[in-house]
Amino acid sequence: MRFEAKIVVKKDNGISYSRILGMRGNRKRSSTSLSESKDAPEIKISAADATALRASLNTMARSLQVVDSVLKADFRKSVQNRKR
């Protein structure tokens, strides 16, 4: 049995998700691919078992969390600069 998941992320203009999310490719028990349209990046994960799927999902979630944190920090900095 193959396990699969698809993650669709709201795209933020000016960001190349394919450069940031470098964790794609084939692993021993899973593979991850990223397709980036003009509307939303789509991450597809396919795994041999549930544990491998969960591990790949966690890796992608952490990467997306880093992107989100950086975007929020950059947004806060730009708001602070506007107030000055």
Q: How far is CA 8 from the centre of its chain?
A: 9
CA 44 vs. chain centroid, Å, equals 10
Residue 44, amino acid? K
Instruction: Return d(Cα 46, Cα 29) in angstroms, integer.
Output: 9
CA distance 17 to 26: 18
pLDDT single digits (tens) 48-78 = 999 999 999 998 888 888 888 887 777 666 6
Q: What is the pTM of this model?
A: 0.74
Q: Where are the domains of the chain?
A: 3-83
Q: How many helices (H) and strands (E) does the chain have?
A: 2, 4
Q: 33-45 pLDDT, tens per residue?
A: 888 777 888 889 9
d(CA 61, CA 38): 21
